[in-house]
Amino acid sequence: MRDLAELNTLLTDVDNDDASVQPLSKGLAMSIKPNDGTTSGYQLSGEVIIADWELAVGGQTERAKITVPFKATKFKPVTSL
């Protein structure tokens, strides 16, 4: 993660859900990079639900891992770079 904008957006969504108010509009994009060197991009939209996420920190020399499970009603391929 180059900056914390994505994490701050996720935390804002969690705060909104905790307040039991109107859900925020959400949209996601993801890039999948299989081990064969290709890249595929996808846009997720419609009703997007983000479930409970986890932060795992292995140690000082290991990277932190954020797992964010989600569901979306629309899932379409897009051009990836």
pLDDT (0 to 100) of residue 2: 67
Please report the DSSP string for 11-75 in residue order.
Answer: HHHHHHHHTT-SPPP--EEEEE--TTS--EEEEEEEEEEE---EEEE--SSSPEEEE--EEEEEE
What tokens appear for 68 in the block?
């964010």
Domains of the chain, by residue range, sit at 25-78
Could you give the CA distance from residue 7 to residue 13 in angstroms, rounded to a whole number?
Answer: 10
Instruction: Dump pLDDT digits (tens) for 49-58.
Output: 888 888 888 7
Instruction: Dump pLDDT digits (tens) for 3-34.
Output: 788 888 888 988 988 898 888 888 788 888 88
pLDDT for 59 beyond 60: yes
pLDDT (0 to 100) of residue 65: 83
